[in-house]
Structure 1
């Protein structure tokens, strides 16, 4: 849920002021018309040589294209706005362009690049002591973390600061808009937390209730705004999603109907896809599985025209749930295959877009001085190296750290004289039988869910890594207090044992055995790993689905 900041430090020529302002208003309320009027305006201001007006219009067009899910065009015009801002040393508009680039990259799933752009925008806003701009940047960065379904504590910190900054600005319509959006993003965070794997029913219901409170606070603020349909539509959409999460389906349908009646920005692909997803989820929870499947399939048809595979993945996940609940396991397996294909396609399209961006930089380099070409090539290489470095340290199936990252982290910690550390070495019980009886596709899904469950049972400072086929290791970076270690181990074991594996495949049951060894100063990583492995073996020997810790 991105905020569209507007804090100019340089102004267009007087004769272009009304044109630029009109396009700005359209970018929030009617992005399709914004594109029409913005492109006409670009011709006018370029003929007049008004680069400030061109910069403003390109920024507004970039945001409109982003709302329309036309990401390639959004990147192109926003990059032009960024180039003009940097040429004029206009830091406010440089930050704005960077924020839009971050939102676009987040929209099509390139979260690494998105965070990079958004962190740059935040740094500039803080450097300028720009309260409003800083609040915007904090909100947009938190939104990306929420989309990643990771770092929820960090997202909450960012949003708390963002909302406090927005509310500290008196008498500003832009700040009021930002306050509504930040409350809505807090609602999104609460909904994401309510959907965490392994979260108990009571905790999930509490988080959903918090989401509804925040959503209605956002909507209340949005109703005070004039001429800002996008913010009102977003607030209503968040309310509808929160109502579904709380099981208040009739009220959710009424909220969806109010969104449909608004027109304008609600005709964009994002709103239509979310309409289909929410309608499908409501029908599924009411037990009307045929209607649910039809609604979700309608949304999937809309994703054929949008490059954002993230939304397609969400719809397919919902479709899998529909078919599983109605007992149509062949259809569920088919939807699983489509989900797997969409996930692969999303990854490939992110890589392809990165390639296009890199090619654009190469074209720019050829038109510049040799020194500039060398500098850009260096930046390009650094970006590729960062991507390669990330891929080299993460497991492709589960997204966890891989064996290489685990070994290097363990070596680094044990190289310190008195570093507190406990190693949990776990292994799924009789996992080969899962693959043999239910298929390797089910086995892969089990591993993905195991990774999510264990990640939800530990802290953000702890490292979770896949170090073997079905072997997961956790490095607990804390004093080896026996009660704490025992609590974490039992939380992991129990969360896996009670998880509804029947939802993955009928008759499926999954348990885990854990060996826990606390590091002794001077002990080598190999010896510590060997002790943990021996304890894990003992847990297996004693009957599996249990924990064995060192004395």
Structure 2
């Protein structure tokens, strides 16, 4: 490689620089065009070198090759590092680190990749280069999201978007909007993520950016997959597949085929899922993407389990788990461990199944706490930023009004009356706007605190209420987690619409059964929560047993499930001095797992170390819920794939 410190002639340097600019613009439209333009720029620079332009061109090639050929991408990184000795750009070191960080991420070495991206942000900040800083923040924000540091990742993404808008790079800003949607999806806010993806997709279609449409469609499909919206997910993955084939983009095609295989598995067509994964296998060989390989292995394991090929399924799932652990991808570890635990249980390997189930529960608890903590941190940041923006806006309005009034006074005294009238009208308008803002804020708060399907308070509302009681030093109360037994059979045998009807029916029974002082809401999936302020263990056990009986009495005839009643398992605990939200939830969760392990359709209480007497009272109070006879018509179905952050029923 030529490393002489020669200066390009103005004509050649300008032409090569223009090609690099066009290559960057083509990244979201057609990757092959971007690659060709970067290579043309390097051909020109071979005759009249310019280290700074060469660095930018090789950085674009590194980005292209990272998705296709890691060895070739590493060659570009080496050449970029050699150019540092003669580069005039202070941000050159950051550009090299971006290339190397992308390579490490593709390998699945997330910790090493994040370390390099941290250095890239630091170098870009010292060089005061907004473009490199925006690229580094975008990549760091995405990787932080993969590792679960969602609030920090969201802050990076928003800083990147602001810089792209400042640089008047709307296409990169649109791409960042999709990155923000990915973080909301990982945060558990699938509805918000879907909104962002659909908004981003509309802008990308208007701009004709085909490759970015492909990426957004795939991420939208993943969001719909997590929501259980299989028809819409299939539509998104199918459209992504067609765009990938149009672009001859092997990596995009492999991702789309994995998504379609997931839909087939969910719809009980594992043979079709395997066929799709086999079709994607050669493309994965061309794609150095460890997480894509692991996601495909997870779907292969699910399909093989449904086809009753347990040894092959276990091998695929273990391979997927090893890759997810290396990548620090906790959400995907949870899904894989849940599937593996179910498979080992079916094989009779109780010890291994228990170990994976315990690891699954520990990871699920960490993921849930992390999502709650990160969403709280994100909401706090958003609230503080919004408050500052509103305060600044009001200050600017006040200053403008004062300046206008003084100017009017200096011009003519006769206009004072007019100024007074205008000020009065402005005050009235601000009052109307403030009233509308408060009304809108209250409506938004109600929506944010309500579960859309059941109209009950949602997780955020209930956990906030529980936290308030614990902080306020209120008299001890009880927490019940109510989980539908074998809920999957309703979805499998009668479809998701019937499953939704069942959830609404159970919600109605819970709402009607508890006293007005109690609180009932949906925790997520098929889980509900009941808060009983100032209830002792005996009273809480009586309420729990009454709820269990009332749910079992629901008439399932309208759904064609005669003889197969709805049953619930209930975990019960008391809030004790020194408890926080996580402690109370964990004890109730442990009680729920004990109820499941004891045969379901029962109430189990778990108290803290504060009182052994409470434990004896709990056992006596729940005496009526001792092991029940087999329910007529009940069907024991195998557990399905564990969704991100969900619990097997």
Give the drift of 1:154. 0.9
CA change 1:324–1:510 in 2 (3 A) is farther
- Show structure 2 runs of 5+ residues with no match: 1-22, 27-49, 372-458, 484-509, 511-518, 538-549, 557-564, 570-591, 606-620, 626-649
CA contact (8 A) 1:403 1:467 kept: no
Matched, 1:262 2:324: no
Matched, 1:185 2:215: no
Q: So what's the TM-score if we normalise by structure 1?
A: 0.60
**SS at the partner of 1:509?**
coil
Q: 2:524 aligns with which of 456, 462, 472?
A: 456
Match of 2:316 in 1: 295
CA distance in 1, matches of 2:291, 2:93: 27
Give the drift of 1:410. 9.4
1:209-238: CA deviations, max 9, x gaps?
A: 221111011111122225x44333322322
Give the drift of 1:165. 1.2
Q: So what's the TM-score if we normalise by structure 2?
A: 0.51
Length, aligned pairs only: 394
Match of 1:509 in 2: 601
CA distance in 2, matches of 1:266, 1:469: 58
Match of 1:69 in 2: 108
CA distance in 1, matches of 2:105, 2:220: 22
CA contact (8 A) 1:429 1:510 kept: no
Q: 1:124 aligns with which of 152, 160, 163?
A: 163
Q: 1:232 aligns with which of 243, 247, 253?
A: 253
CA contact (8 A) 2:478 2:531 kept: no
1:160-210: CA deviations, max 9, x gaps?
A: 11101111113xxxx21110111111111111011xxxxxxxxxxxx1122
- Show structure 1 runs of 5+ residues with no match: 195-206, 351-397, 412-423, 431-449, 472-488, 514-539, 545-551
CA contact (8 A) 2:184 2:193 kept: yes
Give the drift of 1:117. 1.7
Matched, 1:138 2:172: no
**SS at the partner of 2:524?**
helix
Q: 1:161 aligns with which of 188, 192, 199?
A: 199
Give the drift of 1:290. 3.5
CA contact (8 A) 2:244 2:253 kept: yes
1:245-296: CA deviations, max 9, x gaps?
A: 2333223212212322124564432123223211110012223333322321
> Which 4+ residue blocks in structure 1 deviate beyond 6 angstroms?
344-350, 408-411, 450-453, 462-471, 493-496, 500-503
CA change 1:409–1:217 in 2 (3 A) is farther
CA contact (8 A) 2:81 2:96 kept: yes
CA distance in 1, matches of 2:172, 2:252: 17
1:118-169: CA deviations, max 9, x gaps?
A: 2322343445554312221121111122223x11221111111110111111
What pairs with 1:393-432 in structure 2 (closer than 5 Å)? 401=463, 405-407=467-469, 427=480
Match of 1:223 in 2: 245
Q: 1:333 aligns with which of 331, 354, 360?
A: 354
CA distance in 1, matches of 2:305, 2:472: 46
CA RMSD of aligned residues (A): 4.7
